[in-house]
Chains A and B, each alone.
Chain A
Amino acid sequence: MSDEKFEVIIVGAGLSGVAAALTLARNGVEVLVIERGDFPGAKNLFGGILYSGVLAELVPKFWEKAPIERHIVNRRWVALDVDSQVAIDLKSAHFDKPPYNNTFTALRSQFDRWFAEQAEEEGALIICETTVEGLLTEGDRVVGVRTGRDDGDVFADCVILAEGANALLSEGAGLRPAMTPANRVNAVKEVLALPSEIIEDRFHLEGSQGAAVEYFGGAVKGMVGSAFIYTNRDSISVGVGCLIEDYLGTKTAPYELLDEFKAHPSVAPLLRGAKTVEYATKMIPEDSYDDFSDLYADGIMLVGDCAGLVNPSIHHEGTNLAMASGVFAAEAFLEARKKRDFSRTGLGSYRSRLNASWVMQDLKHYRGTVDFLRANREFIDSYPRITVELMRDYFTIDDTPKTEVRRRLIRKVRDEVSFLRLMRQLWQARKNLI
């Protein structure tokens, strides 16, 4: 590969890198994608719900050909305590027709491979089994990458880092703030095999309909994070993800939390007879908008997870932000190419495109979510628990008069919840959580 030069080198064939590659190749740019796995997707993992607004623009009607699992018609948010649950349940046949609410389950090892093939068909060159070990610079300008292969230096007008949540190159080059236990979630996940008929019966689904269930509160011992169950075609994805800071604070092992979650009386019946066929782990960025670096410099742009582009709110979106940022970086390159200026100034439209889009508008809106939860732990700990307890007590049938039950519940709320604090928190929550 020595002394080879491309117009653009993309590090990482995940969602953001491939979205960028596809857009560039489609516009006639000579683009090389370097991926460390055996094939694109080999090392990738998510929950996961693929949010596909951007994908549907890149590959119209992708659901007719892509290896996706199910389209989500049922979303459920569940607060757990030790042995009970209270849930909000949204199910809509409205989501049963194209574009299926842009919400699908998928398995990344299969989906990413297909997605990368679409970029290859447009002319992108993807090299696998190759780790990028460093950036090549001339002065302050990035001019290429050093790979682990013999003669492994490759040059380009512009490098796009799409290396994902474990942002070693981005951090090493000072292009983003350090990864810390407070801005990284660790997630562990198992794929459990179950026949599609059992899944459809158990989750009340028909055909390719799917369900996504998120669990809070006691499900993750009041840590900042959540647990999840997503239905695939003939398997379910079950996992937990919490801030590393909280695992450290409680000295909890992630897999122990997962095992406790799987054994919860509300969860275990959903998993009956299911056999684990894969165990996996990865980080999720929870960088705040306030901590973002510029995301571009001379000859380089950062996209997707390494840039920190994940919406940490209840929406938990990363896939669509990754793809959108890949497309914006590609468009910024095309603009820079007209003037042949790949400096910071030339590439500057990347950030303005991001800023003008829903990506940064959402991230700006939810800039305080993680810090809000870290500072107001009641929202993830006592409030979900108290809600579950109140509902349980209210519907507990014994011979207590209902007026007495009501009195007890009001007393309980008064004892456990500071009304003033709650009001203040709700006022802040409207900005940070909703």
Chain B
Amino acid sequence: MAIDVKDYLQPHVSLSISERLDLVRRRFTDESHIAVDQEAFRNDDDRAVLYICPAQVFKLNEEEDSCIVNFEDCLECGTCQVARRYTSWRNPKGGYGVTYRYG
């Protein structure tokens, strides 16, 4: 297939996080593999998990001042539990979770 060089002169555009997540195959059971100690989350002035997670799994429920965990978006890096020990993370059941095409 001939390449049209003009196609490759357009700026690269960063996708939104949800568009990026859509590129990765994820398979999940109903059971969450991530738990958050809500009390400790409330006491975390930084609310660090809200920004440290590259998949934006943690969202703030403003009304209840609690942390929502969209565990099915998790890309399994383990960073949340290292950044804040009030998140407990375990490996999803075998065969579940992410499957990368490239890696």
If the complex has contacts A109-B102, A254-B52, A272-B9, are A283 and B79 also in contact, measured as CB distance less than 8 A?
yes
Interface residues of B in 41-75 (CB under 8 A from A): 46, 48, 51-52, 54-56, 75
Contact A272 B94 (CB under 8 A): no
Interface residues of B in 5-48 (CB under 8 A from A): 5, 7-12, 14-15, 17, 20-21, 23-24, 46, 48
How far, in whole Å, are A210 and B15 apart by their CA atoms in the complex?
A: 26
Interface residues of B in 84-103 (CB under 8 A from A): 90-95, 97-103
Q: Which of B15, B82, B97 is in CB contact (< 8 Å) with A276?
A: B15
Q: Which of B46, B77, B82 is in CB contact (< 8 Å) with A251?
A: B46
CB of A229, distance to nearest CB on chain B (Å): 12
Is A383 part of the binding interface, using a Cβ–Cβ cutoff of 8 Å?
A: no
Contact A184 B103 (CB under 8 A): no
Q: With a 10 A CB-CB cut-off, give which of B23, B77, B101 has the most chain A CB atoms.
A: B77
Contact A195 B101 (CB under 8 A): no
How far, in whole Å, are A194 and B10 apart by their CA atoms in the complex?
A: 12
Chain A residues with Cβ below 8 Å from B3 are 195, 197-198
Interface residues of A in 262-276 (CB under 8 A from B): 262-263, 268, 271-276
Interface residues of A in 35-81 (CB under 8 A from B): 36-38, 41-46
Interface residues of A in 138-165 (CB under 8 A from B): 147-149, 165
How far, in whole Å, are A154 and B23 apart by their CA atoms in the complex?
A: 36
Contact B82 A43 (CB under 8 A): no
How far, in whole Å, are A409 and B17 apart by their CA atoms in the complex?
A: 43
CB of B52, distance to nearest CB on chain A (Å): 6
The DSSP consensus for interface residues of chain B is loop
Contact B8 A273 (CB under 8 A): yes
How far, in whole Å, are A44 and B94 apart by their CA atoms in the complex?
A: 14
Chain A residues with Cβ below 8 Å from B82 are 179-181, 184, 244, 283
Contact A166 B77 (CB under 8 A): yes
Minimum CB distance partner of B77 in chain A: A281
Contact A244 B94 (CB under 8 A): no
Contact B103 A45 (CB under 8 A): yes
Chain A residues with Cβ below 8 Å from B54 are 186, 188, 253-255, 281
Minimum CB distance partner of B90 in chain A: A168
How far, in whole Å, are A364 and B74 apart by their CA atoms in the complex?
A: 35
Binds B, one of A127-135, A329-337, A350-358, A367-375: A127-135
If the complex has contacts A244-B52, A281-B54, are A165 and B103 also in contact, measured as CB distance less than 8 A?
no
How far, in whole Å, are A133 and B5 apart by their CA atoms in the complex?
A: 51
How far, in whole Å, are A251 and B90 apart by their CA atoms in the complex?
A: 25
Is A191 part of the binding interface, using a Cβ–Cβ cutoff of 8 Å?
A: yes
Contact B103 A194 (CB under 8 A): no
How far, in whole Å, are A149 and B93 apart by their CA atoms in the complex?
A: 9
Q: Which of A128, A235, A268 is in CB contact (< 8 Å) with B12?
A: A268
The DSSP consensus for interface residues of chain A is mixed
How many of A's residues come within 8 Å of B, CB to CB?
A: 66
Contact A168 B91 (CB under 8 A): yes
CB of A117, distance to nearest CB on chain B (Å): 16
Q: With a 10 A CB-CB cut-off, give which of A197, A268, A272 has the most chain B CB atoms.
A: A272
Chain A residues with Cβ below 8 Å from B5 are 198
Is A221 part of the binding interface, using a Cβ–Cβ cutoff of 8 Å?
A: no
Q: With a 10 A CB-CB cut-off, give which of B12, B48, B90 has the most chain A CB atoms.
A: B12
Contact B83 A278 (CB under 8 A): no
Is A112 part of the binding interface, using a Cβ–Cβ cutoff of 8 Å?
A: yes
Contact B100 A198 (CB under 8 A): no
Contact B100 A109 (CB under 8 A): yes
CB of B8, distance to nearest CB on chain A (Å): 3
Contact A271 B12 (CB under 8 A): yes
Chain B residues with Cβ below 8 Å from A248 are 46, 48, 52, 83
Chain B residues with Cβ below 8 Å from A128 are 94-95
How far, in whole Å, are A178 and B71 apart by their CA atoms in the complex?
A: 24
Contact A186 B77 (CB under 8 A): yes
Contact B94 A130 (CB under 8 A): yes
Q: Which of B12, B21, B76 is in CB contact (< 8 Å) with A262?
A: B12
**Which 3 pairs from chain A and chain B are nearest by CB?**
A129-B95, A273-B8, A166-B78
Q: List 11 A-B contacts (CB under 8 A).
A: A107-B103, A110-B103, A131-B91, A168-B91, A194-B8, A259-B14, A276-B15, A278-B100, A279-B15, A281-B55, A283-B77
Besides A168-B78, A253-B52, A278-B103, 20 other A-B contacts (C-beta < 8 A): A36-B92, A38-B95, A41-B100, A42-B100, A43-B99, A108-B100, A110-B102, A130-B95, A198-B8, A244-B79, A244-B82, A251-B46, A251-B48, A255-B20, A255-B56, A259-B14, A276-B15, A281-B75, A283-B77, A283-B78
